[in-house]
Every structure is written in structure tokens, then in C-alpha cells.
Chain A
Amino acid sequence: MHEDESCKFAACTFFAKNHPGESCGSNGLPLTPSSITILGRSQRLLTIEHTNLCTYLDIIRGKHERIIVVAEVIGKSLAEYSSKFSYEEIINISLQVTNAMMFLHKQEITHRTLSDDNILLDSSGRVKLFNYGMYYMTNEGNEVPFPLGLPRYLSPETILNGGGPAADVWTFGIILLELCIGKLWKNIKPGPTLRRILTLVHANNPAERIAREHDCLEAYKEIPETVRNLIEKCLKIYPSERATFEELIEDLSKINSKTLEDIKQPRGLMGCKLQYLYYWWQLTGGDIQAELKKNGLIKNSPPILSMPIAILLDGGTIGGKTGALFDRRIAKYSLDLLKNRLSHIPPQDFYPLMHERRKDYDAVALPKIIRERDTEYQFYRLLWFQRLLHGYPYTTQYIRTEAEIDIPPLERGDVWAALLGVVGDIEDQYERIDKETPTPTDRQIDVDIPRCHQYCWLLCGSAGHRTLKRLLKAWLLTNPQYVYWQGLDSLTAPFLYLNFCNEARAFACLSAFVPKFLHKFFLKDNSAVIKEYLAKFWQMTAFHEPELATHLHDINFVPELFAIPWFLTMFSHVFPLHKIVHLWDALLVEGPSLPLFMGVGILRQLRDTLLDSGFNECILLFSDLPEIDIGECVKESIDMCRISPRSISYRRFTNEPEMKDPMDIVEVPLDVLLSETCSRISLADFFSLTCQDKCCVVDIRSNLLYEKSCIEGSINVPYSGVHLGQHELKSLGAHPNKVLTEAIRQKKIIVVASAEDETAQLFSDYLVKCGVSRVCVLHGGVSALHTHVPSLFGVPKKTAHK
């Protein structure tokens, strides 16, 4: 049994069906490969948890339509036990099998392949069914080239025309009979076996007939009556006459005398969630495919052998790789590798306490992508997040703080939902939404979905297509103020990708995401919203990348030409999913103004190319966006976002409460906003910057007004004396040049204060053209500040002037 303990999971493999002949469907698109259909369908199996079912851990798509199924294992299969079981044991095994089967049938999953080699039993008497989802994941066997199920376990109606869930009851009956009187139809080939089963159709009592056929009638009669009754209830020719698993459980519970001793949940590593163990095992270098090769379950044959001998005119082939039968062997995996890797971890670390938060991970300084591949780091992160998520929604604040560092990929779906504040009975809410009634938008959705992130195996299958459509329809129905804009499909994709088997949560996440980040973007007339957004994006570019902004402005390279898909889809139409998740990790933590800075971050990465390019080259660059380092982009954008005063990225079209305090207001009419190069800073933000000595005020009023009363610490550059044509700070005079240069060096924010907006804008624009970063305009100018914070004013010190 020691061996069993270190083998927690196993894999088996098979080939999906190849599409014969034509490779294109009626819409001109290639047919979905069967392996992708299987992958899509099997996702649901990954979420099934039951004490008597081996948890599915992974479904891998290998080369040449190969599918590898990874699932939990325990003990040995019934077929591997050589000794006979006592009736007490048989009843106990049966009870657990029927329990599992009843659960599956309630989930509307038919097993079809139940046999003595996929019922696993461990030394403590625990039973688990292994790979019970073959029939389900292969779409009732339609996606594989081989028949499902062992011949001797097939019910008569299965052999004839398929059959439903009741076929599982027949199979169970046969297994029960075998446990009592030994293997049936030994050494008989499949064909004759099937024929024998079909001859049972005429028998009054098939069980007895089988026993007689095997010269076991004596033995059969010796089976306790209660058990024999059970067998006979299962082995009825007509499916409708067979007992259901529910009824069988009732009978079995009556005769079961043995209560299963509670297995002590192991402590330490082996007590961790199986999914975590599998994940960590992979991070330590565990390789499912390598092990399968070692055990001969994957055989490499020269590719030439798989070529067909002849190809017919209709595209059909003769010869070549022939469909093999299902290889029933499984490869078990030892966890020793992982145990060794984590052996130095003290036992108490398996049970992290909330108040003892570990902060000093060594790996934290490494890039995210590397952290995500580090076993030990992921070990600590996962256990910690598991605890935090367990306490959700009461731990929201902790989750947010931790997510700021990073989010473990395995729990990303849960963490995102928590960050978006998804709570309540989301299943019920989603259930109530009509996702089926056709609408005029359907055509657009139908043509968009087969083009949406189709490199992703999950999203390109029919299961993915169907679910994405339902999500979109549900969202449109619950948001009647909005319409379907192309791009909404891409926006939904990441949520579907992370919650593939939890449609309701994908929907809840989308529903929470849009108001937060894309408020009013999907209005039928969204032009004002988009214009404002792009204008803000352009202002942020001028704020952080003045030189670039000036160049792009000069060549008339406006964001309308390239940035609409960026923001309308929050970059989900621009980048592949593995990059989007990292962008959105940051987005969900930092909030709705971050995307503006992400846009600037992308421009910054392309800075040198853009500065050297004219209009055509620039637009070409964005039509075919070069590789962007997302980790770097995220880091930069967060930095930019944090040093930018909140009010400079203020937008009118957000879901946030309206600003009431005049100290906070920076709002201007849209046409004014569109004409301004530089953002406005609110009085409140200005005040706090001043208190921290983080800004440099340039007062551009006349010298006369300045002398009378000015903001303390400000410099005076009378606007009337500025030569707007000369883009050099030097031309402003020696003192202003010195102060500004020093302020730029100290990365201070340059605030332009004026008596009227127009000159403030012209001057700030001038500063941007001089290449000065972090320029903004004081909203309301000097007079507003004087009204609200007169304490900041004084008389200029004479020393400031020579």
C-alpha cells in the first residue's frame, strides 16, 4: 500500500477520430477537430467531485489528435485483485459503486464503460470509479474511432442501437454477477460474446441463464438471496424494467453491515488539494507524456507509416494509420519528485495563518512569468490564496492586497471573481435569463464567435462557441441600454476562458466588469464616450511622453485610428489570452484609470520606432502590432498611474459617484476637453501635492498681478513674454529655466496656473512641445485656488528676483 500512497494520479490516452475527406464545413471554415470537441466537453468533468469518483485533473491534447486523460487513482482495480471477495465486501463495493453511479445519472452523465478495470478499491475498502467520463467526453463515442465499453459488459440494447442510462444498470448487474461467480465469457472473442448476450433476449431470467451457460448454476443458487435479487433486478432485458441506482442503493443499504471506517485525511503535503498537487508536480518538472512514452502507452512510429496507401478522388483514404482499439492501460505517477522538492518546508507552513502573513518570498523580485513557474513560490501562494478565498467575501481586502503582488494562475478565476465583487446566488440569476430566443443581433454574434481567440483550444470548440454565444445573449438581455458592438466577444472571452465550466460566474464577472471599466461604452451612440476616453488617453500621453505626443500630433496620428479596439475591449482584441490575463490582473486591482496608462505603456515600448516614423509607418505598426513585453508594460503603467494625480485622468463617463466638492471638480465640456493637450488638476490634488512638495507651479499671469499675491513657491513666467515658436526652456529666461530644469530632475509635477484657461492651455502645450513631462493645468486657475485655499498665497520673496 505504500506504493499507492505516492501514486495519486494516473493517465490514459487514446486517439480522437480523424474527419474523413472534406476538411471544410458548410461555412467554409475547417471542421472542428474531434480532439477539440472532446477537450471542450471534458472541461465539465474536471469540476466533478464525489467521494466515489476519481477526480479528473487534466485533459491534454497531444499531437495527431491524441487525448490524454489525467485523473486521481487509488489502490487497484477490481480486475487486479486475484482473490475472491466475501459477500460482505461485495455488498460494500456495490454500495459505493451505485452511489457514484446515482450521482453521475443525476448529472445526466451516462457511464457506458463501467468495467472491473475502472472500479478502483484501496486497502481500506474505499471504492472510486476511474475515467467514468469517456462516453460523455467523446460525445457518446462519436468523436473516437473505436467502440466504447468491453463487450461482455454491454447490455443487449446497447449492442443493438445505443441505449441510455439504464444500460449502466445492466453493466453493474454483470459486474455484480462476476464478483459472485467469477469472470464471464472468458476466452471468448468479442463477436461471439456479443452474440451470446443477444441470445439472452429470449431468456426469462438472463442472470440464471448466464450462470447455466458457465456451468455455475450451483454457485449461482448459493448466492445469498438478497444479492441474487439485486442481480436479477439489474439484468432485465427491457431497460424500463431494470431497477434504477436509487432503488439499488435502498436495497443495498438494508443488507450492508459494514460501515466504512472514516479514512483519516492525511496531513501535510498529501493532504493538499489534489489539483494543487498535480499543478506543483508539473512545475517541478513532472511530465505526463514522458511517463506515457516510458510505459509504452505512447509509441512513436515513423510518420511514413501513417500515410495512406491511396487517396480516392472524393478525399477518402485507404490504408495508413488504422484506428486502434482503446488502450485500457493506465500509467501511474509517483509524487516523489514533488515530495523531495518540498521536503524542506516546515510542517506548519502547510497551514498558513491569516495573522502571520509571510511577506519575504525570495521570488517576489522576479518577473511574474518566472514566479508562475516556481514550485515553491506557487506552493506558498496557492495555500495562502486558498485560505483567503475560503473567507471571501469577508477577506476581500486581503485578497486585493495579495493580488497586487500577483495572482496564482490556478486560482485566477476565483480571484478575479473576488476582485470584481461577485457574490450571491449567481447560478440562480443566470439560470433565469433567456439565452435562447433568437434576436436580430444573432447573425453578428454568429459571425464573430468563430473568429474570436480561436487559437485557444477551449474557445474554438463547439462547447466554447455555444457558451460564448449564451453569455453574450444573456449580457445583452440584462443590459437593454446597451447594444452588441464587435469586440464584446473578445471582452467576454477571458472570463469564459477562466470559468469554462462555471458559465454563471463568467457572466457575473462580465456583468461586474463592464460598469467598472467600460461604463457606457456599449451604448448605441457611444461616440462621446469614446471621444472622451481617447482625449484622456492623449492627455496622459502628453503628460508622460511629451516628446512622443508632440511627434504623433505633428504627423496627425490620432488615437481614433488605432486605439479604439484597445479601450473598447480593454486590450482583449489586441493581445492573446496569456497576455490579457496579466494585463487584467493589474487592471482589476488598480482600477478604471489604469487602461489609459497601459495605452501609454504600449506607446512607450514602441517609442523609438514611432519617433523615427511618419504617418504611414506608424499606422502600419499598429495594424500589425509588434511583440509587446506585457510584464514591462504593466509595471510601467502602474508606475505612471500611481504618480499621476487622480484628477488628471478624471472622466465624466464613469460609474463613480459624481464629484460635488468644488475642490475636486475638473470637469469641462467635451469640446473643450478635446481641444486641450494637457489635463487639468483639481484644487484638492494640487493642495496635497503642494503639501508634499511634489509640484512646481508656473504662474503665467502678468508680473503685476503676481507681485500683488501669488501661490507660495511658484515662479512667474508672464505669458505675454513667451515666444511660443521657440521650443526651448532657455528662452523663458534664466531663472524659470533653472527652476523648471530642477523640477524636472526631481520628477515634480509642473502645474500651470493662470488667470484664464486659454493661455494656460497654450502655455502648457508649449511646455509639452519643449519636451517637459508631467505638465498639467490648475483647474479654475489662480482665482479659484485663492477662493478655496487662500492660505497658500503670499507675496513673492524679493530674493527670487535678482
Chain B
Amino acid sequence: MATTRSGAAQRPNGAPQTKVCQFKLVLLGESAVGKSSLVLRFVKGQFHEYQESTIGAAFLTQTLCLDDTTVKFEIWDTAGQERYHSLAPMYYRGAQAAIVVYDITNQDTFGRAKNWVKELQRQASPSIVIALAGNKSDLAAKRMVEFEEAQAYADENGLLFMETSAKTAMNVNDIFLAIANKLPKSESAGGGAAGGARRLNDADAPRASSCCK
């Protein structure tokens, strides 16, 4: 991996060097709100009506190009069922970003999302960038969570907020892009976020930390 990165940094054609940053991102939220579907849409551009439930967690990566930086997301997609809650810290520990997802047609899932935000604020790295995603916006006719309500909540807590639809792809790339833009891309900030929390893959800590070249 390290070689790939340096390869990107030293382009043979002599183009200006782009910074490559890696960030660990975790998706949290009640089950069946569309976490896996959001990731699948973002990573593969696909949508499956009958996306299987996630047990434990799934892992995917995707790269985004910003103006002068290439951002590589290592995405942990977690199980939504409350019972799997005890596994969650394993995944959000050391994450620099989180997307907390709820289903706009279900008020309970919004409540659960708020709990996730609280937990992240308490337990996760203090500099974590949290985005709130109101998914299934294609089902606006059955909306139970008002846009304004969620926006107000997001503002209060300093969260990025968008309503998304994995099905129609609305705002899916945008929310990841917004996170990428908000993430600190300087050496010091990145290092701080990862500090001591890289338990999952300690072995490849140099690669997995968000330091940039």
C-alpha cells in the first residue's frame, strides 16, 4: 500500500504532487435505514432493492479527488441492530469521520441517530467529523422526520447534514465530499485524530493514519 501511495505522489508525467490522505469513516444508525446501500452507492454506484442485512461489519474503500488532494476513505459499515452495539466501538475507535444515518420515514430511527451522535461525541476521537444523513428521501411522500427538524438538530450539534437517497443517488457523493472537505488535511490535525486510537490495525499504523505526503 505504501508503494501505491508514493506512486501517486510522484507522478511520472511531472504533474504537481497531490496530497493523498486516508481517513477512516464509520457508518452508524438503526438497522434498515440504508447504511449499506449508501456505501454501495458511493463505492460501486449500485443499488440493490434487497440489500442483505449486515452482521458484524463490512469494509469498503473509495477514493475521492479534491482540488489538490486525493482522499481515500476506509469505510466501516456496521450492523444496525441494537444488539450489535457492543461491537460498534471497535469500528468507530480511531475514526476521523462518521456518518450517522436515519430513515426519514421513521421517527424512531432519528431518535436512534441522536443517540449515536451523543455516543460519538462522548466516546470517539474529539476531532471526529460527524455527518447526519436522512436517507430514503425518495420516499418523501411518507416522510415522518421534517427536514427543518433534522437541520436544526445538526446545526445545534455542529454536524454536517443532508437528506440522501441511495436509491436515486441523490446527495450520496455530496455527503462524502462534504466530509472530505471538512476533514483536516494538514499533518498535525490528521495525526492528532488518529492518535492512540488505531487499535483495529495497529500493525499498519503508518499507512492507516491520516498523515499526508
Contacts and interface: CB of A to CB of B under 8 A. Distances in A.
Do A and B bind?
Answer: yes
A199 interface: no
- Most B CB contacts (10 A, CB to CB) among A486, A487, A524, A573 go to A486
Nearest to A565: B55
Interface stretch (A233-241, A347-355, A504-512, A552-560): A552-560
A623 B50 contact: no
A451 B51 contact: yes
A448 B52 CA distance: 8
A584 to B, nearest CB: 18
Interface stretch (B117-125, B151-159, B182-190, B198-206): B198-206
Given A556-B202, A620-B59, A623-B59, A614 B1 contact: yes
A527 B86 contact: yes
B11 interface: no
Interface in B41-71: 49-53, 55-61
A28 B139 contact: yes
Interface stretch (B12-20, B77-85, B94-102, B171-179): B77-85
Contacts of B61: 616, 620
A562 B56 contact: yes
B22 to A, nearest CB: 9
Contacts of B114: none
Interface string A556-596: 10001110110011000100000000000000000000000
Contact of A555 (B31, B56, B204): B204
Contacts of A485: 81, 83-84
A555 B206 CA distance: 13
A266 B139 CA distance: 61
B200 A556 contact: yes
- Most A CB contacts (10 A, CB to CB) among B57, B83, B86, B204 go to B83
Given A447-B32, A450-B50, A556-B202, A561 B83 contact: no
Contacts of B80: 486
B49 A444 contact: no
A452 interface: yes
A510 B193 CA distance: 47
B109 to A, nearest CB: 10
Interface in A438-492: 444, 447-448, 450-452, 454-455, 460, 483-487, 489
A564 B31 contact: no
A467 to B, nearest CB: 17
A623 B56 contact: no
A569 B53 CA distance: 12
Contacts of A623: 58-60
Contact of A616 (B49, B57, B74): B74
A559 to B, nearest CB: 10
Contacts of A450: 50
Nearest to B75: A623
A22 to B, nearest CB: 11
B90 interface: yes
B86 A28 contact: no
Contacts of A569: 55
A1 interface: no
- Most B CB contacts (10 A, CB to CB) among A448, A524, A616 go to A616
Q: Which 6 A-B pairs have the closest CB atoms?
A: A447-B32, A565-B55, A454-B50, A564-B56, A556-B203, A619-B59
23 contacts: A28-B105, A28-B138, A28-B139, A451-B51, A451-B53, A454-B50, A460-B50, A486-B80, A486-B84, A489-B53, A527-B86, A554-B203, A555-B201, A556-B202, A565-B56, A569-B55, A573-B52, A573-B55, A616-B1, A616-B59, A616-B208, A622-B59, A623-B58
Given A26-B142, A447-B31, 18 more contacts: A28-B139, A444-B81, A447-B53, A448-B32, A452-B52, A452-B53, A455-B50, A524-B83, A555-B201, A555-B203, A560-B87, A560-B90, A565-B56, A615-B203, A615-B208, A619-B59, A622-B59, A623-B58
